[in-house]
Amino acid sequence: MATKFEEMAVVVSQKEIATDIYDLTIQTKEIAAAAKAGQFISLYCNDGTKLLPRPISLCGIDREAGTLRLVYRVTGENTGTEQFSKLVAGDEIRVLGPLGNGFELGDKKAFLIGGGIGIPPMLQLAKELNCEKTAVLGYRNELFLLEDFEAVCDTIIATEDGSAGTKGNVIDAIKANGAEADVIYACGPTPMLRALKAYAEENDMECYISMEERMACGIGACLACVCKTKEKDHHTNVNNKRICKEGPVFNAKEVEL
């Protein structure tokens, strides 16, 4: 079983980088050293009325400095994420992690595909993969983290409104740019992952997906974040797996979308 830690992390910095998108760096004692690309942490609100933590994927891991970079979206007023957006340098926040599994690093020519708030977790993977790679980023309209990706790999983008890059989705951008790869790593909304799974099957590609899901406990106990799978889960003896525990990264062939 992977080691996880619970600690009070200290806020190093925070800024808003797009509308309702925040870039938060926290100092941890042990979590950063153990974390890997594709994992997530649970952040607890300092407001005692909100008992359940919020899962946030890891955008950046600096093991030497002991810091984690978290890029997240504020989901509404009086929410946990809105409370996180008010944190400033020096504040403390309770953290549990690292949680879930991560991406297995390979050496095949890769697409790193992120959609919306599924873009941030692909950045650490882009830094760690030692292979030919292209980031394919899908935005609604407003761009964020683009320069970070461009600094570490080839990058192509798609926007729904056509304001930048290819008008359309990530598959439209791949086709428009004549891009090719042997393996897909992806994180984003379910319709995007479903389309990428089909695209991978059509093109005989490996495909690994990180599934976004609302979670409650984040440690596999409550069964609130299950997904349908082809094989029976030994924990429940049904065709389900817990995204927070057996995931969030799966081989796309394992899961039904």
Q: Which CATH number do you get for residue 203?
A: 3.40.50.80
Question: Residue 225: is its pLDDT beyond 60?
Answer: no
- Given a contact cutoff of 8 angstroms between Cβ atoms, the answer to whether 206 and 180 are in contact is no
Top pLDDT among 222 and 42 is at 42
| Predicted local confidence at residue 163, as pLDDT | 94
Check residue 195 and report its DSSP letter: H
80, 99, 118 — which closes off a domain?
99
* Domain range for 16: 5-99
Total number of domains in the chain: 2
202 in the same domain as 114: yes
Half-sphere exposure (Cβ direction) of 95: Cα atoms closer than 13 Å: 31
User: How far from the centroid of its chain's Cα atoms is residue 230's Cα?
Assistant: 23
How far apart CA 60 and CA 92 sit, in angstroms, is: 19
76, 99, 122 — which closes off a domain?
99
Question: Residue 85: is its pLDDT beyond 80?
Answer: yes
| Predicted local confidence at residue 50, as pLDDT | 67
Mean pLDDT, range 63-91, rounded to an integer: 93
40, 68, 99 — which closes off a domain?
99
Q: Which residues make beta-bridge pairs with 46?
A: none
pLDDT band at 13 (very low <50, low <70, confident <90, very high): very high
Q: Which CATH number do you get for residue 78?
A: 2.40.30.10
Sign of the torsion formed by the C-alpha atoms of 87, 90, 94 and 100: positive
- Given a contact cutoff of 8 angstroms between Cβ atoms, the answer to whether 22 and 85 are in contact is yes
- pLDDT tens digits, 126-183: 999 999 999 999 999 899 999 999 999 999 999 999 999 999 999 999 999 999 999 9
Top pLDDT among 94 and 46 is at 94
94 in the same domain as 39: yes
